[in-house]
Amino acid sequence: MHVPVKLLLRLGWRNLFRHKRRNFMLLLAICVAVAGVVVMNSLIRGFQFDMQESAVANLTGHVKVLAPGYRDDPNIEKSFKLAADWQPDLPDVDVEGWAARVRIPAVIMSERETRGIQFVGIDPSQEDISFLGSVAIDGEFLQDADDDRVLLGKELARQLETRVGRRLVIITQGIDGKNREAGFRISGTFDADGTGLEKMFVFTGKHTLQEMVDADVVTEISVKVSQQASEPVAKRELGSLFSNLDVLDWQELEPQAAAMFVYADSAIFIWFLVMMGALIFGLMNTLITAVMERIREFGMLRAVGMRPGAVVLQVVLESTLIMLAGIIVGLLLGWLLVLWLADGGIDLSQYAEGVELAGMRSVLMPRLLPQDLVLVAGLSLVFGVLAALYPARRAVKIKPLEALRR
């Protein structure tokens, strides 16, 4: 059976211009739907990215090396030795940065208040991979791994009723299981997005903390890779370097963020389906009208020998053409909107605590992924064809004689 696709395409294209205003309205509706989906998509992706970045920056890294049992019972006994000149020697991975830390629970006391915290010994030069690399500091950041002052969150300082330059007492458990108590001067306070991190972490020099607990050990190595895709490779290679330790990726360390990540993936689909659902009624309506207006035309075409298959194709092609035009303009419009939104991002700082609870950052940056655009375009076309099926069936049912007699 020969179907003159080229002819049908030309016919379809011209038919669209028979009712310019009507088809223009339809085009607008498709554009709004497609652009709306693109913008929502980019916001959800931005949210996903933020969540992952926050999870990784939250002293987690993409991959982390821990002593067995540390996760269940985090204390200095669950630690390991690391050579002073150790470097992450991962041949197949581009490592963006890494940090070896001592991180143990401790109690912090000011003259007036007492709080429970995570006491973290760091080498400040390694910490550009964590949130410490980007927070605002009031006072001074720690100088080096030998710095014997502490850096704490602004909120914690407020709760302890203390400030930069004052002294604090920190109690933690040493390697022998006995409590150690030491005084520290505050070098500075950091201001993170929400108050969660500010209340949880207190930092000092790594060597200072090692001296305090009386052990030349670390409790974790955190590695950040520059390409997300190389994360599994990094995990595998670290696994073979530290065969007697636990090597975990961020999804295992932050299961809630990972679950939210999966959830956002399905949210994208739901959005798309709803928008297309709202659109499909208008699309079908216009297509059916276009068919009914042309009963005589279709009757004649059938009478001169056009096959039913060609009639169906004709209607489907018309639907596809207008959908295609709408998709192209809609994608462009959506892209421009995303560019506009991305200029500065969407400021959510007035919701800082809620943002933190949702694992986001205070400025939401929309993100466009090429594969999402392809998916939107492809699925929209499928919807265009689906919407054309009923009108096409109606067109096929037209009887040549009856139609011509009108």
Chain residues binding another protein by CB under 8 A are 19, 21-22, 25-26, 28-29, 32-33, 36, 40, 72-75, 105-108, 111-117, 171, 173, 177-179, 255-256, 259-260, 262-263, 271, 274-275, 277-279, 281-286, 288-289, 348, 351-358
How many angstroms separate the CA atoms of 113 and 264, rounded? Answer: 41
Tell me the closest approach of the beta carbon of residue 115 to another protein, in angstroms: 6
Give the 3-state secondary structure of residue 134: coil
Q: Which is nearer to another protein, 114 or 226 (CB)?
A: 114
A 10 A CB-CB count for 173 gives 16
Tell me the closest approach of the beta carbon of residue 95 to another protein, in angstroms: 29
Residue 10 host element (H or E): helix 5-16
Q: Which is nearer to another protein, 188 or 330 (CB)?
A: 330
Q: Which is nearer to another protein, 207 or 251 (CB)?
A: 251
Tell me the closest approach of the beta carbon of residue 208 to another protein, in angstroms: 20
Tell me the closest approach of the beta carbon of residue 196 to another protein, in angstroms: 8
Name residues whose C-beta falls within 8 Å of residue 6's C-beta, 6 or more positions apart in sequence: none
Tokens of 190: 């950091």
Q: Which is nearer to another protein, 239 or 400 (CB)?
A: 400
| Contact status, residue 138 vs residue 167, Cβ threshold 8 Å | no
How many angstroms separate the CA atoms of 55 and 359, rounded? Answer: 8
How many angstroms separate the CA atoms of 287 and 298, rounded? Answer: 14
Tell me the closest approach of the beta carbon of residue 145 to another protein, in angstroms: 25
Tell me the closest approach of the beta carbon of residue 322 to another protein, in angstroms: 12
Which residues are 119's β-sheet partners? 104, 202
| Contact status, residue 353 vs residue 194, Cβ threshold 8 Å | yes
Q: Which is nearer to another protein, 35 or 90 (CB)?
A: 35
Q: Which is nearer to another protein, 281 or 340 (CB)?
A: 281
| Contact status, residue 170 vs residue 150, Cβ threshold 8 Å | yes
